Amino acid sequence: MFINRESNSFTDSSTRPFYKHLATLALFIIATAAITPSAGAQTREYPKEIRGYKVERAVVELKKSDKSKNQVNASESTSNTANADGNASTDADVDQLITFGKAQVARATPLGITFEVPIVVAPVRQSGRVDFLVFEDMVVNGRSVEIDEYHRGFNLPNKSPATLREPLRIYIYLTGAVLAALGEWTDAKEMWPVTGRVYVFGKFKKGLFSFKRCIPVELNLTIRNPLKEK
């Protein structure tokens, strides 16, 4: 019994620091796990393929203006300069590929309002042909809207931003809730926030090769309230 008591006492005193370190490690792991999801949530995961087009963000490289070039020259990383042409597109760059112009009221009835919104395409360094656009999770001024697919092919510009010939048409149903808030929509805001996603389907050339790709573009922009000018 004496030997056992000595043995137990020895074990308790020798393992106490071990358990202390183990508890510290466990707290560190828990804290890391709590932080990791919030950081990862900022990076959206896309399908690998949509309608036979491979999904890829870094397909096109936007052509920067002289002002933009001066702003980024000081912050260019070695990984950027390692590219063949000395430039690299970030996710933020890709999200500037598609933007909207000045919205206008095309038609208003007791059942709803139709807006026409010009689509503006940023210039890119390589050539490419867009087959069609698909819009997803679109929200205009806090209200979810359905936008038809844009099936009018066009070439990507290389020199300056290009406004597509056919504008985007957005229809908002005038339900009772919307009618009640129509005054607020008309008078309250000069600018409307627009968020959502547009998938750019097309064929894009890099070097001697042409690739069939789908580029997801995350929209987070504002348009002028067209109802204030009606």
Per-domain residue ranges of the chain: 1-43, 49-229
Helix (H) or strand (E) holding 49: strand 49-50
Give the tens place of pLDDT for each residue, 102-114: 999 998 888 888 9
- Quote the CA–CA distance of 167 and 55 in Å, as a whole number: 25
- The CATH fold of domain 49-229: Immunoglobulin-like (2.60.40)
Say whether pLDDT at 78 is over 90.
Answer: no
Give the tens place of pLDDT for each residue, 8-31: 444 455 555 554 555 555 554 444
- Quote the CA–CA distance of 53 and 157 in Å, as a whole number: 21
Say whether pLDDT at 164 is over 60.
Answer: yes
Say whether pLDDT at 181 is over 60.
Answer: no
Nearest to 134 by CA among 210, 219, 226: 219
